[in-house]
Copies of this chain bind each other. A is one copy, B any other.
Amino acid sequence: MKLTAKTEIIKEFIGIADGIMITELRLHIEEDVVRFLCVDTANVALASAVLPIDAFTEHTFEPCIMAIDVTKFKACFGYGGKEISITRDSVESNMIVVESGGYRSTQTLLHDGTVKKDPNMPALELPGIVELQEKEFSNTIKTISAESDKLRFIIADNKFKIKTENEGPDNTERELLEDEVLHIRGDGNSMFSKDYLIGMTRQLSGDIKVHIGIDHPIIIDFMFAGGHGVGKYLLAPRIET
């Protein structure tokens, strides 16, 4: 097996799992796509990424599964190469060689049985949807998250509001009006932990589609790798008790 792609594309792809602090990642190398679907240790956040095989400049392989140590793998993003190649002698081999920028890194694959099972992506119909530029979304979360551990997202009356959820009256909010988003409809009102949100937003770019329900998970749909790849985050809500 040999897969080669631009460093930036591999970095964004693996970064999506890194955004929810996945350290052991099972990659599915299939006929048409390379993809993963993973859940964090606390079972609070899911990440999915699908990268078409034609995003790779070189791809010779039999379909296979391989589980990588994300921390070790990420080192290759510092090698300064324009491309990254991943070579595996056979689908039985437990080693890969990662090459980039003149560096050559030999990495043992993880034993598939020891890596957390792929979750099921729940089929949810969430009533509130807002499309907007990732910058508006990420900057708002980053700015107000200093003031609270929990953030509430509200879609109502064609406005999208993100607010801190402190005990007591002191809170901060930002309301995005209809003309500050690309598309908005329906209703939603749910609360989430800021730490997960901040990790996720670091991986986003361009336009994103956010789905919100009433005390339901948030789903963020986004593109990566210059529109070639399709990514999705799902984060469970925190429910007031």
A interface with B by C-beta (< 8 Å):
72, 75, 78-80, 95, 102-108, 139, 143-144, 146-147, 168-176, 180
Q: A102-B180, A103-B173, A104-B175 are in contact. List 13 more A-B contacts (CB 8 A).
A: A72-B170, A78-B146, A79-B143, A102-B175, A103-B143, A103-B144, A104-B173, A105-B170, A105-B171, A105-B173, A106-B169, A106-B171, A107-B170
How many whole Å from A11's CB to the nearest CB in chain B?
16
Inter-chain contacts of A102 with B (CB < 8 A): 174-176, 180
A-B contact pairs, 17 of them (CB 8 A): A72-B170, A75-B172, A79-B143, A80-B139, A102-B175, A102-B176, A102-B180, A103-B143, A103-B174, A104-B172, A104-B173, A104-B175, A105-B147, A105-B170, A106-B169, A106-B172, A108-B168
User: In the bound complex, how far is the Cα of B105 from the Cα of A102, in angstroms?
Assistant: 48
Bound complex: CA A107 to CA B79 (Å):
44
Q: Please name the residue on chain B nearest to A147 by beta carbon.
A: B75
Residues from chain B with a CB closer than 8 A to the CB of A144 are 103
Determine which of B95, B104, B147, B175 lies in contact with A169 in the assembled complex, contact meaning CB atoms within 8 Å. B95
Contacts of A72 in B (CB 8 A): 147, 170
Name the B residues within 8 Å of A80 (CB-CB).
Answer: 139, 143
Q: Which 4 A-B pairs have the closest CB atoms?
A: A105-B172, A103-B174, A102-B174, A107-B170
A78 cross-chain contacts in B, Cβ below 8 A: 143, 146
User: Residue among A80, A95, A104, A175 with the most chain B CB within 10 A?
Assistant: A104
Assess whether A172 is in contact with B95, with CB atoms less than 8 Å apart: no
Chain B residues positioned under 8 Å from A147 (CB to CB): 72, 75, 105
Closest Cβ of chain B: how far from A88's Cβ, in Å?
A: 14
Partner of A172, one of B103, B171, B173: B103
B75 near A174 (CB under 8 angstroms)?
A: no
Which residues of chain B are within 8 angstroms of A107 by Cβ–Cβ distance? 170
Q: Give the residue name and chain of the B residue nearest to A180 (CB).
A: B102
Chain B residues, CB < 8 A from A106: 169-172
A152→B175 CA distance, assembly (Å): 52
- Are the CB atoms of A108 and B170 closer together than 8 Å? yes
